[in-house]
Amino acid sequence: MPKYFYFSYSRSIFAKKRMNREKKLSTLEKNIQEAVTAYKDIIEKWLSEVEAPLSLYDKSKNQAGIKILMAEEDTINILILDMIKFDKSTGNILVHQSFEESEDNSRWIPVSILGDKAIEIYQSIFWLDKDDLIIVDGDTHSGTANMVWSFSSKALFFINVDGHIVDTGWYYDGIDHFIGCNGEFAVHKYDWSIAMREIDEHEEEMEEYDD
């Protein structure tokens, strides 16, 4: 085979592989874009069906709120977002900003102004409704709420007066974080029987110890 023909043939094979690769990548990129759009559409539909604000939480750190870095010209702003809701009056999805650059700056802002960061926010939604919970009596220092926190392995939730639900375990000071807060404590309905059994077992152990 002549040398020039071999090189020409090799370039042809390489060009064909490159075209196939680019075509596959283009198809995959299109699929990704379509999947992202479908994901955002279904999240926004679900949000429009929820009355109360939903929590945003950092799954990797198991703590309330997520940190978002926003580039603006030559600066990077650090935002802490802790809630999300659908605003019926405007038809917009809003996120609650609690801090900006480590300073208190409580306000609701449209998620649309955060651009591509919306996906990070949607992935951090804590999908829990009041119908999923059983309200318990007591407060931070007494009653069933305090016993669930102290003696049960199950999560104790706090329902704020606006319906916003948080897990007390997200906060470094736990149940004490809610001292003086207006709302109700609750346990997930699937955890209720286990939590009550664990409390009963603790009380039985204490009675045996006293004997």
pLDDT at 31: 84
pLDDT tens sequence across 4-55 = 444 454 556 666 677 778 888 788 788 888 888 899 999 999 999 998 999 9
- Going by C-alpha positions, the residue among 95, 151, 90 that lies closest to residue 123 is 95
pLDDT tens sequence across 64-122 = 999 998 877 777 888 899 999 999 999 999 999 987 665 667 899 999 999 889 999 99
Predicted TM-score (pTM) of this structure: 0.81
Q: Which residues contact 1 (CB under 8 A, 6 or more apart)?
A: none
DSSP class of residue 179?
Answer: T
pLDDT tens sequence across 21-30 = 888 878 878 8
What phi and psi, each to the nearest 5 degrees, are found at residue 87? -95, 105
